[in-house]
Amino acid sequence: MGFLHEGHLSIIKQSKKKCDVTIVSIFVNPTQFGPSEDFNSYPRNTERDNELLETGGVDYLFLPSQEEIYPKNFQTFVNVEYVTKKLEGEVRPTHFRGVSTVVLILLNSVQPDFAFFGQKDAQQLAIVKQMVKDLNLDVEIISCTTVREPDGLALSSRNVYLSPSERKEALVLYQSLELAKKLISSGERSTNIILSEMNELFSKIQSTNVDYIKIVEADTFEIVDELTEGKDYFILVACKIGKTRLIDNILLTV
């Protein structure tokens, strides 16, 4: 959705390594924003984005208008059923319908062999993979590792909303994930205990308002009570710091 940062540029680098031609789409998608969300104020800077893409060696920028993506009398949407009902789907019930629809439109418009998505939006990535599988789309989805600031904060276009004090407090997302990782590496397998410790960390930061902290199986997004040796899990956090909603996660093998 534009307002590019180093996380986006790292995805572009992966495409450049793998592909002969790299195309970047920028489209702030209105259908994935709820009525009270920040569509109108979402950060945009197309001129700066274009300069970064040129410097990064991108071959084409696909910059469609809203009318091109959603022409008059548009009435077809894509619903990925099960995995969209939980976590982000509970907090933002129309969000993933907008995401899956616009991703399908963009994939059909560009017809890429590979499409690269950041792991920071882990549930979105799972939904896109499910849609591609279910609809038998001729594209391979490539997952790209989350890029972080030196202090651990995951890069996000929404970070610009944070005041200096909120920017420091936002580190609690990464710190909570590192705490969970430490507990698991020391042998803890009860997700209730892990989540309780994480919640305790958030409770010490006054500006936080937690939407959810969950541990799910990486392939199914099933919420689990007990961790099983040898399985992959996402630990997921969504939280408002002041008025700014941030998400983060880590993927680990127990």
What are the structure tokens assigned to 47, written together? 């001129």
What are the structure tokens assigned to 188, written together? 């803890």
Q: Are 26 and 63 in contact (CB under 8 A)?
A: yes
Q: Which residue do the tokens 């996402």 mark?
A: 234
DSSP state of 226: B
Task: Give the length of the chain.
Answer: 254
Hey, how many other C-beta atoms are within 10 angstroms of the C-beta on 6?
12
Tell me whether residue 5 is one of the annotated catalytic residues: no
DSSP state of 56: T
Name residues whose C-beta falls within 8 Å of residue 75's C-beta, 6 or more positions apart in sequence. Answer: none
60-62 and 23-25 strand pairing: parallel
Catalytic pick from 8, 95, 97, 245? Answer: 8
DSSP state of 148: B
Alpha helix (H) ranges present in 37-170? 46-55, 66-69, 88-91, 95-110, 122-134, 164-169
What are the structure tokens assigned to 216, written together? 């799910």
The continuous run of DSSP H or E covering 18 comes out as helix 6-18
What are the φ/ψ torsions at residue 44 (nearest 5 degrees)? -140, 140
3-state secondary structure of 167: helix
| Catalytic machinery residues | 8
